[in-house]
């Protein structure tokens, strides 16, 4: 496919993840823009950052402030075959060490307003309630420099060639995280839990009586870092969903059983009709841990797990 300039920016941001190690970039892409143009900001590796819990304001150096509307917040991951993933000593993996989640960098996309932005230098300030890795400053503390150029631009249409002379307009919402139920152990950087041969988590969906009739289970994969080589299995029985992680190496970290339950629409290829979310989050009924020999051992219990509806 032939990618337009804006999508090349997204591709370049994805390549930056290994350099940024999930940190907030001090400059957007591009570093200068006209009123009305589309600008992207790398804002670190927070948990559950959305347009609903995040705001942005432009502060001209000449004074005043201009509220900005965040168009989209995306998660960007490097290629699994890239040096960032394969090299476990790379600072990229510090994200996992300090957050318990798979490394990513979040990208905020903003269409600048067409009026009210004075020409000259200034900075953008984000405010979010999203949770950041324990060693990372939140984006709340970091001014991101942006210069406003003369003239008026327009939001990028993200138009691209799909072959045979046909073109279409890209929709960023199609690559945003879907509505989901996220389940994971609460991360504690000082925890001393051992590694495991298997972990079994059972959820109860009491509000709707059963898990979604059609859903995708999306396990987060940090096995290149842990060496667990884990396999993931699922079983639905009435209103319960059991998710089992099995490691032939016995290297499952206590925080590795992290997954999303994504309701699917009646037609899986339909983007306009998302699946039906539960009316309330499920309850973690039980969590069982086993060593590599199959003996049940101690580990984080149901009270140590977080269940979030996003």
Strand runs labelled E in the chain: 32-35, 38-42, 54-60, 66-68, 70-76, 105-111, 120-128, 144-152, 159-163, 166-169, 181-185, 198-204, 215-219, 231-237, 240-246, 259-263, 283-290, 296-297, 305-309
Q: Which residues does 86 contact at the CB level (< 8 Å), separation at least 6?
A: 224
Asked if 79 and 183 sit in the same domain, the reply is no
Is 83's pLDDT higher than 70?
yes
On whether both 210 and 152 belong to a single domain, the answer is no
Average pLDDT over residues 45-56: 92
Cα-Cα-Cα-Cα dihedral sign, residues 176, 180, 185, 186: positive
Same domain, 19 and 138: yes
2 confidence band (pLDDT: 50, 70, 90): very low
The residue from 143, 172, 201 where one domain ends is: 172
Q: Do 151 and 10 belong together in one domain? A: yes
Q: Are 46 and 106 in contact (CB under 8 A)?
A: yes
Q: What is the pTM of this model?
A: 0.78
Residues 132 and 261 in one domain: no
> Quick one: what percent of the chain has pLDDT higher than 90?
51
Cβ atoms of residues 258 and 100 within 8 Å = yes
Nearest residue to 212 (alpha-carbon basis) of 268, 256, 275: 275
Per-residue pLDDT at 176 = 78
CATH number, domain with residue 305: 2.60.40
135 close to 62: Cβ distance less than 8 angstroms:
no
Regarding whether 123 and 24 lie in a shared domain, the answer is: yes
CATH code for the domain in which residue 60 is found: 2.60.40.10
CA–CA gap between residue 57 and residue 281 (Å, rounded):
33
Task: Provide the pLDDT for residue 208.
Answer: 67
Choose one of 115, 145, 172: the last residue of a domain. 172
Q: What is the mean pLDDT of residues 144-170?
A: 82
pLDDT computed for residue 11 by the predictor: 37
**Per-position b or e across 161-190, b if 16+ CB within 10 A of its CB:** eeeeeeeeebebeeeebbebbbbbbebeee
- Terminal alpha carbon distance of the chain: 32
Q: Which residue range is the domain that position 19 belongs to?
A: 5-161+168-172
**Across residues 119-123, what is the average pLDDT?**
97
Q: Do 183 and 154 reside in the same domain of the chain? A: no
- Look at residues 149, 172, 195 and tell me which one is the last residue of a structural domain: 172
Please state the domain count of the chain.
Answer: 2
Give the up-direction half-sphere exposure of residue 150: CA atoms within 13 A in the CB hemisphere. Answer: 0
């Amino acid at each position: 496919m032939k990618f337009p300039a804006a999508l090349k920016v997204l591709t370049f941001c994805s390549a930056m993840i290994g350099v940024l190690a999930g940190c907030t970039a001090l400059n957007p892409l591009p570093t200068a823009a006209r009123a009305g143009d589309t600008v992207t900001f790398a804002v670190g590796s927070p948990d559950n950052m959305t347009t609903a819990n995040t705001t942005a304001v432009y502060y001209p150096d000449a004074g005043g402030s201009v509220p900005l509307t965040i168009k989209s917040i995306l998660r960007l991951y490097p290629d699994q075959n890239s040096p960032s993933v394969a090299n476990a000593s790379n600072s990229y993996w510090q994200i996992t060490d300090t957050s318990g989640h798979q490394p990513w960098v979040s990208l905020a996309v903003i269409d600048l307003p067409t009026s009210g932005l004075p020409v000259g230098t200034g900075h953008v300030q984000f405010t979010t309630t999203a949770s950041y890795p324990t060693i990372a400053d939140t984006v709340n503390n970091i001014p991101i420099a942006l210069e406003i150029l003369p003239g008026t631009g327009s939001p990028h249409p993200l138009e691209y060639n799909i072959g045979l002379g046909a073109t279409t307009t890209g929709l960023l919402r199609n690559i945003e995280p879907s509505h989901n139920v996220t389940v994971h152990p609460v991360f504690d950087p000082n925890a001393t839990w051992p590694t495991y041969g298997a972990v079994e988590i059972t959820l109860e969906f009491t509000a709707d009586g059963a898990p979604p009739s059609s859903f995708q289970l999306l396990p987060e994969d940090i096995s290149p870092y842990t060496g667990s080589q884990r396999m993931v299995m699922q079983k639905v029985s009435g209103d319960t969903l059991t998710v089992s992680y099995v490691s032939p190496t016995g290297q499952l970290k206590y925080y590795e059983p992290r997954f999303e339950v994504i309701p699917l629409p009646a037609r899986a290829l339909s983007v306009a009709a998302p699946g039906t979310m539960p009316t309330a989050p499920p309850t973690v009924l039980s969590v069982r841990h086993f060593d590599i020999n199959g003996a049940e051992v101690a580990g984080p219990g149901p009270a140590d797990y977080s269940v979030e509806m996003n």
